[in-house]
A and B are shown apart, each in its own frame.
Chain A
Amino acid sequence: MSLVGPSGCGKSTFLRCIAGLERISAGVLRVDGRTVSEPPDKLGMVFQRDVLLDWRTVLDNVLLPIEFRDLPRSTHEPRARELLEMIGLAGFEKRYPWELSGGMRQRVAICRALVDDPSLLLMDEPFAALDAFTRDELNLELQNLWLRSPKTVVFVTHNISEAVFLGDRVVVMARRPGRVEAVLDVELPRPRPLAMRDSPEFVAHAARIRALFETLGEFRKSAR
């Protein structure tokens, strides 16, 4: 599922509420049938900044959740190596974060979120700070990882095309006041190649979302 909307509409706040990092002011929020009062058990999180620990190697960074949950390192190390290999970082296990590019660092952060095989993966604009090429690459890699082991992913972005490409369902949010404006289903087959973004169906989905924002007056200042 993708969450798309302009800055200030509460996308990230909503994500933080799901993660149990922030309290909701009213209503009920359930994850897996349970009301959220603390971070859910099987949770993986990726932030806009990779927040890797500089003093740990790539492998040790990926294994951080294992250490935090007091699980045996030895049984999870093969899994960590496998994830790194899948995302194209084989051979970088012993490197330190400062030796990596921004895209590679965010890849490590994704592996870290997935190492304990979470049932819920929350991603808060994870690719917003990356250049367009790296972003495309990572969109594809994220899709591959998901196809191998499908799980619930909530992906926050302000990029309409990215939201449609990654999401089976796109939640369109608006601001002042922050609210859910529409929920669209994207029924495009997977794996989706990058070229699909030029297909009429894809363009139609993106156009609908853009039109929504336009009627909400989001483009008033710049585009018209």
Chain B
Amino acid sequence: MKSNSRNALFVIAVLLGCALLWEALTRLFKVPVFMLPPPSAVLVAMKENPSIFVYHATYTLESTLLGFALAVVLGVVLAVAIVQSRLVERTLYTVLVSLNSVPKVAVAPLFILWLGTGIEPKIAIAAMIAIFAIVIDMVHGLKSVEPEMLDLGRALKGSRLKVLVKIQFPHALPSLFSGMKVAISLALIGAIVGEFVAAKRGLGYLILLSQGQFDTTTMFGAIVILALLGIVLFFIIDALERLALPWHASRRQEGAVAVVP
């Protein structure tokens, strides 16, 4: 615990140091605000007009979360199907891996064409980018069950469903969570990509809009909020993991636990 909070303090100190340096350099060299605004100006802009940022951030958050949820549900279903059948594995896995090698940003305009300019294409793009992390980690988790454990299930004459529900699935949960940690950041990227292509709302749209108006300060405000969103979402998943898998979390920190009385 002690080293944890010290670590957090260190990170904050480094970030503050960077901001101060940035502030000092912009003032010292009199960098024009439309090129690089000082952090103080960004903060002032965010404070003066918070409703704009909230308005756009909630939209981005919504498409991120919905896309992420879609990716988790679909990804888990796909992973289970892949593990259950050799045929599905050989076909689906091949398709997924080849699809994954296509730069997904490149197909984003297609989704706009298919789904219009509402929130649906943003959700779809977020899900598409995030799903691979889920599928790959979940398949790995389901497959890494010890063979003896499966023998045990067979010796008990358990149906495949029982083995899946009682042994494989819980065993794969830690992998699913590590996939989800990657996927949540990817979903945020997907949402922004969707907003870049065509949108009337969202932080991605706000960035494009303020770029057109040379309002670099607002752009930086949106970027700062995006960074914060990414960090907060990641730590929410991390906290959920600790809640859902106490047996796993405590195993990971075996060394650290002993220190706490």
Q: Which residues of A contact B (CB under 8 A)?
A: 16, 19-21, 38-39, 41, 43, 45, 47-49, 51, 53-55, 64-65, 67-69, 96-98
Contacts and interface: CB of A to CB of B under 8 A. Distances in A.
Interface in B117-160: 146, 148-149, 151-158
A55 to B, nearest CB: 5
Nearest to A122: B155
Contact of A55 (B152, B162, B247, B254): B247
Given A67-B166, A98-B247, A39 B148 contact: no
A38 B154 CA distance: 9
A161 B148 CA distance: 26
Contacts, number: 61
Interface string B226-251: 00000000000000000001011011
Nearest to B244: A55
Given A54-B248, A96-B247, A64 B156 contact: yes
A51 B154 contact: no
B151 A47 contact: yes
A67 B163 CA distance: 11
Given A19-B155, A68-B158, A69-B157, A49 B148 contact: yes
Contact of A68 (B149, B162, B250): B162
Contact of A47 (B148, B166, B171): B148
A21 B251 contact: no
A94 to B, nearest CB: 13
Interface of B: 146, 148-149, 151-158, 162, 166-167, 170-171, 173, 245, 247-248, 250-251, 254
Given A67-B166, A98-B250, A51 B155 contact: no
B157 A68 contact: yes
Given A49-B148, A55-B245, A98-B251, A68 B154 contact: no
B146 A51 contact: yes
B38 to A, nearest CB: 51
Nearest to B254: A98
A49 B146 CA distance: 10
B162 to A, nearest CB: 6
B151 A53 contact: no
20 contacts: A16-B151, A21-B155, A39-B154, A39-B155, A39-B157, A47-B152, A49-B146, A51-B149, A53-B149, A53-B167, A53-B171, A54-B248, A54-B251, A55-B245, A55-B248, A64-B156, A68-B156, A69-B157, A98-B247, A98-B250
Nearest to A66: B156
A121 to B, nearest CB: 11
